[in-house]
Every structure is written in C-alpha cells, then in structure tokens.
Amino acid sequence: MIKLIFLFSILFSVLFSMTAHALDVRVVGRANVELLSTKKRITQATTVGDVSVDVLEAFELPYKGGSFGFSEIAGLGQDIDVISDTEMKAYGWCFSLDGVVPETMADQTQLSGHEGVLEWYYGYAHYKNGEWVAQCVRDLAKTDRQDRL
C-alpha cells in the first residue's frame, strides 16, 4: 500500500509539473526599445533556447545564432566600444527569466514551468583595468544605430 501511494504521488507531481502555462517572451533592443512581445504556450519540458528560436521564427524576426544563443537579432549584433586603453564594453544579447540572468547558456537552461517572463535584451560586458567587472548590463543608451530598429 505504501508503494502504491508513493507511485501515485510521483505520478501526480509529474503530471502537474508538465501542465501547460503561458510564458511572456520579449525581445528588447537598445534603450529598452521593444522589438517583440508575445505569449508562448509551453506544454512540455523545453529550454530557453528552443522557445526563443520558435518565437523568433514564428514572428519572422531575423537572427543569427541558434538555441545556444544569438549573435544578432533584428540587425542588432555584437559590437565593441573601446573607451580607453584599459576599458571597453563588449555588446551582445543576454536573456533573463523573471528578471534573473542565469549563469548557463540558453540551450542548457531548462524551463521549470513556473517562469512568467523570458526576456532577451541587448546588453554589454564591461572590461576595465584588466578584469571583467560586469556582464549582461542592460544597454540603455540611445545611439545612431537605434534608428535602424
């Protein structure tokens, strides 16, 4: 009887962990310019990378990359801003889940079914005096390139 109860509890938890939920997916360029905002229904175990590719393709938003990550979305790609001999900013695409930036690649970040917002945003890593002092800092500066978006 205890084994039967244990099996039912496992089955119950698996069924409820795989129920469908809606995930808000956003793509945000420089200066918080929204490029895409939609809801994606998640019905099975998947990764951030797979969901991201599905959404970009469904909305025909051009990109370079894949489920592992993106070097370019909507014409906005990697860039380096050399500030001085000892400082630079390396720009690219970062993602967050409910405002938290995971320490894993998009194809290695599993969705648990409890996330509310997946956001890809244009950010930068900051290098200063021989060390990386920040990563995935949101790029809020408006530049001439933003006019293309």
Q: What is the CATH number of the domain that holds 61?
A: 2.170.130.30
Q: For the segment 62-93, what is each residue's pLDDT rounded down to a tens digit?
A: 999 999 999 999 999 999 999 999 999 999 99
Q: For 17-31, 94-108, 128-142, which range has the lowest pLDDT when averaged over its residues? A: 17-31
Flag whether the pTM goes above 0.75.
yes
Q: Which amino acid is at 47?
A: T
CA distances from 57 to 69, 76, 94, 134 (A): 14, 16, 18, 31
Question: Residue 9: inside a domain, yes or no?
Answer: no
Question: Residue 110: inside a domain, yes or no?
Answer: yes
Q: For the segment 54-70, what is each residue's pLDDT rounded down to a tens digit?
A: 999 999 999 999 999 99
What is the pLDDT at residue 148? 45
Structural domain of 98: 20-148
Answer whether residue 43 shows pLDDT above 70. Answer: yes
Question: Residue 80: inside a domain, yes or no?
Answer: yes
Query: What average pLDDT does the structure give for the chain?
Result: 86
Q: Which amino acid is at 107?
A: D
Question: Residue 1: inside a domain, yes or no?
Answer: no
- The total number of structural domains in the chain stands at 1
Answer whether residue 13 shows pLDDT above 80. Answer: no
Question: Residue 141: inside a domain, yes or no?
Answer: yes
Question: Residue 62: inside a domain, yes or no?
Answer: yes
Higher pLDDT, 142 or 43: 43
3 state DSSP class of 99:
coil
Question: Residue 14: inside a domain, yes or no?
Answer: no
What is the pLDDT at residue 14? 43
Question: Residue 7: inside a domain, yes or no?
Answer: no
- Judged on CB neighbours under 10 Å (0-12, 13-18, 19+), 74 is middle
